[in-house]
């Protein structure tokens, strides 16, 4: 549930930042940017014919066949919430439900006429409300920590994937426009925070460092991984075999790798390698948690 | 006059250059996408768009303060729905003209605060400079980094009856309004995305970064990673929104005078983790108030000792102290000569014909024709201290006559100008209003001008006063690539 919502929020931000950016770009730059967004989805869309802005908007908002579209994410999150309805608070449920109905109600034909910026803004606000209700109305026990894990695995993986599609440019192998860097930071909610840290000077090194290694910004990869580590250690120990320890070790290793790297090292040894590593480890953690806590074989828990 | 098609039936075209239509009532090509959209949109939809845009301004707190009124002094900045559009070709002309003008004015400042060549050669009368209240003798002989006095300028341009851009005045002290240019653009992108995309508007988003780069370039020598701050007079200042906006967009600290201290001619900022040295101050406080030890003793906005630190070369002020001399409205008349003197070129952007009232001949002419002239106090800004002859009552004219006679150096006279007009959406209808254009010129290592500026609108019908404090509003300005 938390993963889906985090994903929906990511898609929302990605669209919002890029739609605004593309208004001012030249056609070839728009095309490049569209290709980049498409790649950053993890599973690129197979759109027929040429990529166009309205087609991409439509797919990422309304197409239930696209796994990362807002509608799919919200629908899946609501399905998950229904299954654990008794675990979550009524306030959380009603926010999520309201979001679901809001997204369903929106008329796809409106896209022809105007940009969905207001719509995206409303989705973002709704998700924030849900997160606020989660923190304020649910006990911060095991269930809450699971939500945190989902959110931060997804966030770390999203930031990593987005950085990856910009890797060539950030390593200086290709040109990148100022506006595109702006959109990258905006997509990670990091624009104003970046300015506060590094002022309005945009350098590839600083951007990579900020999004990958900043210890304080909630959308940096290091931040997410450390929250993840913290959340995992709050989970109960299932058996004496140390399943939790296994997951903890995965998270701890990734956190330590990031914590003790410098941006120069990462850039010189290949940014995409580091990012691939982050993405792979996130997937590993996901399945390790799944195995340890949900899909565990019955023997492991009885033999203790 | 030919009849304009719907929805512009009531639109007034005669008597001034119109930005959208040529004199026969045909839409200029660069306005075509906007015009088509307006034809297709019902008035109700535009009204809704207008409400939406107002709401964004209100929610973001984009407001300004009007002085001299008791209640409700904080208002949202009136922002007209329709953009003002300029072609790239026109813009290139403006850009070249402004670059030339600012280069020359900067050389002028450097000259009068050092050798005074231009005064010795008699091109600009000595007493005009020395009687200006913005001439700061404290600046004599002081070297400023890279010789740049004016890091930020806002120059007001108007179009004459034939559509030629003409300089109305320069603002070389602390020009404001750039935040309205930037936020207005964000709002327009939300409201009219489709037209925006079709028109090919050049981006202005780089302004904060360009400003920061300019400030960086002006840091004292040897300070490689300068600490830059924005000095504001505080929350009661009319442009406080802009100060917070720019500080946020540049990622620099916003400080008030009391946050800074000077010790051994070095400026420090108080922070929660101790004192931090400050290298460049983008100050939004007038010269008079910046240091009570050097200028006005009663100022509580400034920083005691700041001027000495500045003299010692330990901190840069942007803009430099004493730049106001070059935007004195009497000196304005000499700018074409100043350009010729330093650069050996003719001014690309012409001046408005200006009569210096300290000189007897012109004074008599202006006094005889007061009801046709615009008279301005030389050191005022914001539309204060101004007489617009054709719109003034007999009593007001007589009152001004006495003021001029009492202190002729303080005033200049200009013919009443017909500012160009652009369509505005007022009370649910389209009507024409007078507009000007204020581009922002940045000067660091080089001169940078983002393509656009603040178009100010005189929202009252027929009015020629565009200042926000006097019932003016703004429009987003689009420089479009017509190719």
**B97-117 mean pLDDT:** 95
DSSP code for B258: G
Residue B142 has, within 13 A of its CA and on its CB side, a CA count of 23
Residue-level pLDDT at A304: 44
**B171-196 mean pLDDT:** 88
> Among residues B257, B314, B240, B323, which one has the least CA distance to residue B291?
B257
**Adjacent-strand bridge partners of B85:** B478
pLDDT surpassing 70 at residue B73: no
Chain B environment of A118 (Cβ under 8 Å): 190
Is A179 close to B212, i.e. CB distance below 8 A?
no
Cβ proximity of A156 and A278 under 8 Å: yes
Touching B: A residues 118-147, CB under 8 Å: 118
Q: How many residues does chain B have?
A: 483
- Tell me whether residue B319 is exposed, middle or buried, using C-beta atoms within 10 angstroms of its C-beta: 0 to 12, 13 to 18, 19 or more: buried
Cβ proximity of B212 and B228 under 8 Å: yes
Chain A environment of B189 (Cβ under 8 Å): 20, 23
Minimum distance, in Å, between the CA of residue B45 and any CA atom of chain A: 12
Q: What are phi and psi of B316, to 5 degrees?
A: -105, 135
Question: Which whole-number Å values give the CA distances from B33 to B168, B192, B308, B432, B435, in the listed order?
Answer: 30, 11, 56, 19, 21
Touching A: B residues 174-233, CB under 8 Å: 186, 189-190, 193-194, 196-197, 201-203, 205-206, 208-209, 211-213, 216, 228
Residue A168 CA to residue A271 CA, distance in Å, equals 8
**B307-328 mean pLDDT:** 93
Cβ proximity of A203 and A211 under 8 Å: no
Residue-level pLDDT at A49: 58
Residue A128 CA to residue A137 CA, distance in Å, equals 14
Which residue in B has a C-alpha nearest to residue A111's C-alpha?
B194
**A66-70 mean pLDDT:** 86
Q: Which residue did the predictor score with more confidence, B470 or A264?
A: A264
Angle (deg, nearest 10), helices B88-112 and B335-343:
80
> Among residues A151, A274, A280, which one has the least CA distance to residue A208?
A274
DSSP code for B16: S
Hey, what are B174's tokens?
Answer: 């602390």
List strands edge to edge, sheet with B266-271.
B260-263, B266-271, B274-277
Rg (CA), chain A: 20
pLDDT surpassing 60 at residue B426: yes
Percent of chain A with pLDDT over 90: 31
Chain B environment of A113 (Cβ under 8 Å): 194
Question: 């993963």: which residue's tokens?
Answer: A3
Residue B170 CA to residue B323 CA, distance in Å, equals 11
Please provide the DSSP assignment of B425-464 as one string.
Answer: EETTEEEEEEEEEE-EEEESSSEEE-S--EEEEE-STT--
> Among residues A244, A239, A222, which one has the least CA distance to residue A299?
A239
Which residue in A has a C-alpha nearest to residue B208's C-alpha?
A200
Percent of chain B with pLDDT over 70: 95
**Among B197, B252, B253, the residue to mutate for chain A (most A Cβ within 10 A):** B197
Q: Which residue did the predictor score with more confidence, B7 or B408?
A: B408
Residue-level pLDDT at B1: 42
Residue B109 CA to residue B146 CA, distance in Å, equals 13
Is A23 close to B197, i.e. CB distance below 8 A?
yes
> Where along chain B do its domains lie?
103-150+202-343, 355-415
End-to-end Cα distance, chain B: 31
Question: For A48-52, A260-264, B17-21, B122-126, which range has the lowest pLDDT when averaged over its residues?
Answer: A48-52
Rounded to the nearest angstrom, the gap between the alpha carbon of residue A18 and the centroid of all alpha carbons in its chain is 16
Residue A213 CA to residue A262 CA, distance in Å, equals 8
> Among residues B450, B448, B440, B445, which one has the least CA distance to residue B148?
B445
Residue-level pLDDT at A167: 87
DSSP SS3 for B322: coil
- Report pLDDT digits (tens) over A75-132: 999 988 888 888 889 999 999 999 999 988 876 666 656 677 888 888 999 999 999 9
Interface size A-B, in CB pairs within 8 Å, comes to: 55
Positive/negative CA dihedral, B389, B393, B394, B395: negative
Q: What is the mean pLDDT of chain A?
A: 84
- Report pLDDT digits (tens) over B21-50: 988 888 999 999 999 888 888 888 888 888
Chain B environment of A194 (Cβ under 8 Å): 251
- Report pLDDT digits (tens) over A15-64: 888 877 777 777 777 878 888 888 887 677 766 556 677 788 888 888 88
Judge whether B394 is closer than 8 Å to chain A, CB to CB. Answer: no
Q: What are phi and psi of B460, to 5 degrees?
A: -75, 135
Q: What are phi and psi of A238, to 5 degrees?
A: -80, -45
Residue B337 CA to residue B483 CA, distance in Å, equals 36
B103-150+202-343 CATH fold: Rossmann fold (3.40.50)
Question: 């889906």: which residue's tokens?
Answer: A4
DSSP SS3 for B289: helix
Hey, what are B65's tokens?
Answer: 């303060």
Which range, A240-249, B208-217, B232-241, B467-476, is most confident?
B208-217
Minimum distance, in Å, between the CA of residue A89 and any CA atom of chain B: 31
Hey, what are A284's tokens?
Answer: 């590993």
Is B206 close to A178, i.e. CB distance below 8 A?
yes
Is A114 close to B197, i.e. CB distance below 8 A?
no
Q: What is the mean pLDDT of chain B?
A: 88
pLDDT surpassing 90 at residue B96: yes
B355-415 CATH fold: Dna Ligase; domain 1 (3.30.1490)
Q: Out of B193, B209, B248, whose CB is closest to A23? A: B193
Q: How many residues does chain A have?
A: 304
Residue-level pLDDT at B68: 57
Touching B: A residues 13-42, CB under 8 Å: 19-20, 22-24
**Helix H or strand E segment including B287:** helix B287-290
Q: How would you write chain A as a 3-class SS string? A: CHHHHHHHHHHHHHHHHHHHHHCCCCHHHHHHHHHHHHHCCCCCCCCCCCCCHHHHHHHHHHCCCCCCCHHHHHHHHHHHHHHCCCCCCHHHHHHHHHHHHHHHHCCCCHHHHCCCHHHHHHHHHHHHHHHHHHHHHCCCCHHHHHHHHHHHHHHHHHHHHHHHHCHHHHCCCCCCCHHHHHHHHHHCCCHHHHHHHHCCCCCHHHHHHHHHHCCCCCCCHHHHHHHHHHHHHCCCCCCCCCHHHHHHHHHHHHHHHHHCCCHHHHHHHCHHHHHHHHHHHHHHHHHHHHHHHHCCCHHHHHCC
Which residue in B has a C-alpha nearest to residue A53's C-alpha?
B197
- Tell me whether residue B103 is exposed, middle or buried, using C-beta atoms within 10 angstroms of its C-beta: 0 to 12, 13 to 18, 19 or more: middle
Residue B37 CA to residue B199 CA, distance in Å, equals 12
- Report pLDDT digits (tens) over B4-27: 777 787 787 878 899 999 888 889
- Report pLDDT digits (tens) over A199-208: 877 888 899 9
> Where along chain A do its domains lie?
1-138, 140-304
């Amino acid at each position: 549930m938390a993963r889906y919502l985090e994903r929906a929020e990511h898609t929302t931000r990605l669209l919002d930042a890029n739609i605004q950016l593309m208004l001012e770009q030249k056609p070839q730059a728009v095309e490049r940017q569209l290709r980049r967004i498409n790649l950053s989805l993890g599973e690129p869309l197979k759109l027929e014919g040429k990529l166009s802005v309205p087609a991409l908007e439509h797919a990422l908002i309304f197409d239930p066949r696209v796994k990362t579209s807002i509608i799919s994410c919200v629908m899946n999150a609501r399905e998950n919430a229904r299954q654990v309805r008794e675990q979550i608070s009524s306030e959380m449920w009603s926010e999520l439900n309201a979001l679901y109905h809001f997204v369903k109600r929106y008329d796809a034909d409106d896209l022809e006429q105007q940009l969905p910026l207001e719509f995206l803004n409303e989705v973002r606000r709704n998700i924030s409300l849900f997160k606020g209700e989660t923190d304020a109305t649910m006990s911060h026990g095991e269930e809450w920590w699971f939500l945190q894990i989902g959110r931060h695995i997804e966030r770390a993986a999203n930031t990593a994937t987005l950085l990856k599609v910009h890797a060539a440019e950030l390593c200086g192998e290709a040109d990148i426009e100022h506006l595109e860097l702006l959109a990258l930071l905006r997509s990670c909610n990091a624009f104003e925070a970046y300015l506060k840290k590094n002022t309005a000077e945009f350098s590839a090194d600083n951007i990579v460092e900020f999004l990958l290694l900043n210890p304080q910004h909630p959308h940096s990869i290091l931040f997410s991984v450390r929250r993840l580590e913290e959340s995992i250690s709050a989970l109960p120990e299932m058996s004496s075999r140390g399943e939790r320890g296994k997951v903890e070790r995965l998270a701890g290793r990734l956190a330590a790798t990031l914590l003790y790297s410098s941006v120069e090292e990462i850039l010189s040894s290949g940014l995409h390698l580091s990012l691939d590593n982050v993405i792979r480890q996130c997937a590993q953690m996901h399945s390790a948690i799944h195995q340890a806590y949900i899909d565990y074989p019955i023997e492991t828990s009885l033999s203790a | 006059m030919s009849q304009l098609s719907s929805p512009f039936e009531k639109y007034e075209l005669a008597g001034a250059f119109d930005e959208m239509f040529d004199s026969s009532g045909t839409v200029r090509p660069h306005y075509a996408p906007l015009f088509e959209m307006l034809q297709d949109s019902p008035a109700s939809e535009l009204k809704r768009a207008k409400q939406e845009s107002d709401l964004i301004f209100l929610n973001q707190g984009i407001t300004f303060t009007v002085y001299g009124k008791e209640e409700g002094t904080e208002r949202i900045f009136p922002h007209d729905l329709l953009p003002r559009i300029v072609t790239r070709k026109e813009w290139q002309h403006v850009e070249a003209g402004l670059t030339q003008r600012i280069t020359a004015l900067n050389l002028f400042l450097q000259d009068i605060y050092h050798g005074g060549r231009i005064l010795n050669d008699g091109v600009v009368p000595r007493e005009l400079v020395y009687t200006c209240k913005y001439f700061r003798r404290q600046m004599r002989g002081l070297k400023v980094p890279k010789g740049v006095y004016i890091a930020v300028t806002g120059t007001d341009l108007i179009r004459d009856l034939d559509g030629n851009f003409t300089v109305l005045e320069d603002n070389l002290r602390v020009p404001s309004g750039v935040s309205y240019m930037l936020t207005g653009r964000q709002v327009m992108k939300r409201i009219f995305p489709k037209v925006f995309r079709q028109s090919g508007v050049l981006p202005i988003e780089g302004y904060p970064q360009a400003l920061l780069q300019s400030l960086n370039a002006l840091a004292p020598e040897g300070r490689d990673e300068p600490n830059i701050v924005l000095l504001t007079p505080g929350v009661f200042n009319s442009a406080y929104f802009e100060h917070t906006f720019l500080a946020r967009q540049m990622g620099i600290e916003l400080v008030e005078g009391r946050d800074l201290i000077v010790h051994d001619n070095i400026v420090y900022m108080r922070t929660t983790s101790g004192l931090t040295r400050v290298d460049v101050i983008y100050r939004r406080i007038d010269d008079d108030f910046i240091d009570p030890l050097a200028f006005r003793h009663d100022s509580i906005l400034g920083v005691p000792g700041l001027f000495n630190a500045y003299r010692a070369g330990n901190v840069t002020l942007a803009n430099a102290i004493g730049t106001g001399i070059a935007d004195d409205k009497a000196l304005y008349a000499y700018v074409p000569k100043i350009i010729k003197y330093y650069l050996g070129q003719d001014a690309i952007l012409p001046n408005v014909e200006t009569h210096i009232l300290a000189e007897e001949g012109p004074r008599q002419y202006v006094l005889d024709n007061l009801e046709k002239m615009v008279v301005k106090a030389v050191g005022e800004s914001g539309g204060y201290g101004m007489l617009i002859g054709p719109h003034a009552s007999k009593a007001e004219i007589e009152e001004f006559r006495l003021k001029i006679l009492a202190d002729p150096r303080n005033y200049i006279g200009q013919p009443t100008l017909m500012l160009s007009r652009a369509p505005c959406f007022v009370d649910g209808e389209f009507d024409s209003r007078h507009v000007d254009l204020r581009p922002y010129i940045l000067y660091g290592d080089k001169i940078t001008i983002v393509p656009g500026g603040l178009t100010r609108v005189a929202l009252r019908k027929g009015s020629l006063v565009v200042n926000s404090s006097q019932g003016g509003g703004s429009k987003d300005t689009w420089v479009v690539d017509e190719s």
